[in-house]
């Protein structure tokens, strides 16, 4: 990392000059009681091709991150956030807990766990001075104290898309990138985005997309490597099953046994915010939920997801876009810490009214694997409508049937 030099005038406004030899910028900082508010990024990014350090350079139209070893270049078109780098306190104070940071300036980063609008930017030396430093954000809500990795973003347009590229890095390692596409701009963008999504799924990548309930993470269910990658991103227990998504009601029978269901039941439940659990068929990837004999199947009532599933013509493994055991997300910004590990995020705007108590409940999950019976596994956001439909088709809850002689 480059060091900043300062003049000794003691004036409140000082000029901070980057000590990195190839950096052409002078950084103006506002000195505060506890630290310096830096108006420009002072971190060194690393080239994902050759791992050499990237530097800021003037281009014909804008600033660029450039590599002096290879032709790698990234345009910088938008300042995304400001960061405050606090002065280090006495070691005893730092080890003293939350009180040590009570008066330290914070950043405008929002906590993805509790949505608190402020966070500390922290750097900690790991083990020895020879190892790279760990950089992360820490929530200013001391009851939460959630930590998440640092990343930078910038935007550019290409082929009618507005991409927002997210750069995540650890000092001494290669950068990692993801992109965000707004699909609500117009129908043409959404059509192009469907093709874009299908290509990423075919390549074994993870994508994030809106559904009729919450934002989800998706991979091709028949790709074992992609499924394992999905579990790793979420930090999910390998024993917890993942549901699949298909494009039409007629596709359900290819992956789940529908022989026990009354005619017309699936068409009454799907598409919609319902996941039906059925006995899995032999066509489904045996490495998907290998300890389960059943599979949850969804058809979200969202045209973007349906078009992707129809075009892929294979089941899509679908789970919520959040860390395991954390709240579900209604906006892409709420799972930003996961962005660097996702190939592309399709932004469909905010989902549902935020103020409703069940807005993050996800789909209603119902087990229909027993003939004439049902079992509600998760209430979800469509419980009442689902119960009405099940009773209309003569199904009874499993508990009721057990009690009968």
Residue 66, pLDDT above cutoff 60: yes
- What gap in Å lies between CA 163 and CA 192, rounded to an integer? 13
- What gap in Å lies between CA 63 and CA 67, rounded to an integer? 13
Whether 322 contacts 328, CB under 8 Å: yes
Of 54-68, 246-260, 291-305, 366-380, which gets the smallest average pLDDT?
54-68
> How does residue 128 score in pLDDT terms, banded at 50, 70 and 90?
low
Residue 37, pLDDT above cutoff 80: no
Q: Which residues pair with 280 in a beta bridge?
A: 256
Residue 177, pLDDT above cutoff 60: no
| pLDDT (average), residues 39-61 | 63
Q: What is the pLDDT of residue 394?
A: 96
Query: For 265, phi and psi rounded to 5 degrees?
Result: -65, -50
pTM of the predicted protein model:
0.61
First vs last Cα of the chain: how many Å apart?
75
Whether 379 contacts 395, CB under 8 Å: no
Q: What is the pLDDT of residues 348-362, one digit of tens each?
A: 988 876 545 577 889
Residue 91, pLDDT above cutoff 90: no
């Amino acid at each position: 990392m480059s060091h900043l030099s300062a003049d000794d005038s003691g004036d409140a406004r000082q000029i901070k000059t980057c000590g990195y030899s190839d950096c052409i910028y002078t950084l103006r900082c506002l000195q505060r009681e506890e630290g310096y508010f830096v108006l420009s990024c002072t971190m060194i990014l690393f080239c994902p091709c050759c791992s050499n350090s990237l530097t800021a350079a003037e281009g014909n139209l804008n600033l660029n991150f450039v590599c002096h070893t290879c032709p790698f270049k990234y345009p910088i078109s938008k300042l995304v956030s400001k960061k405050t780098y606090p002065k280090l306190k006495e070691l005893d104070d730092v080890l003293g807990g939350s009180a040590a940071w009570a008066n330290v300036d914070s950043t405008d980063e929002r906590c993805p766990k509790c949505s608190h609008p402020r966070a500390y930017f922290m750097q900690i030396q790991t083990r020895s001075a020879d190892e790279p430093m760990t950089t992360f954000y820490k929530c200013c809500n001391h009851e939460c104290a959630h930590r998440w990795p640092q990343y930078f973003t910038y935007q550019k347009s290409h082929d009618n898309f507005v991409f927002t590229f997210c750069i995540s890095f650890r000092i001494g390692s290669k950068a990692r990138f993801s992109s965000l596409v707004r699909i609500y701009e117009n129908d043409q963008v959404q059509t192009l985005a469907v093709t874009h999504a299908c290509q990423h799924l075919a390549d074994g990548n993870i994508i994030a997309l809106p559904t009729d309930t919450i934002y989800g993470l998706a991979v091709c269910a028949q790709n074992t490597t992609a499924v394992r990658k999905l579990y790793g991103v979420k930090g999910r227990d390998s024993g917890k099953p993942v549901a699949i998504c298909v494009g039409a009601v007629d596709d359900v029978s290819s992956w789940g046994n529908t022989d026990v269901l009354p005619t017309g039941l699936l068409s009454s439940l799907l598409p919609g915010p319902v996941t039906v659990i059925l006995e899995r068929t032999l066509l489904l990837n045996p490495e998907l939920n290998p300890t389960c004999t059943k599979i949850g199947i969804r058809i979200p009532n969202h045209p973007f997801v349906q078009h992707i599933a129809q075009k892929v013509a294979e089941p899509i493994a679908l789970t919520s876009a959040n860390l395991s055991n954390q709240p579900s997300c209604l906006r892409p910004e709420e799972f930003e810490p996961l962005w660097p590990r996702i190939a592309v995020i399709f932004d469909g705007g905010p989902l549902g009214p935020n103020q409703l108590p069940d807005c993050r409940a996800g789909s209603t999950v119902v087990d229909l694997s027993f003939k004439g019976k049902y079992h509600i596994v998760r209430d979800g956001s469509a419980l009442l409508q689902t119960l009405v439909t099940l009773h209309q088709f003569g199904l009874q809850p499993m508990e009721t049937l057990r009690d009968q002689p």
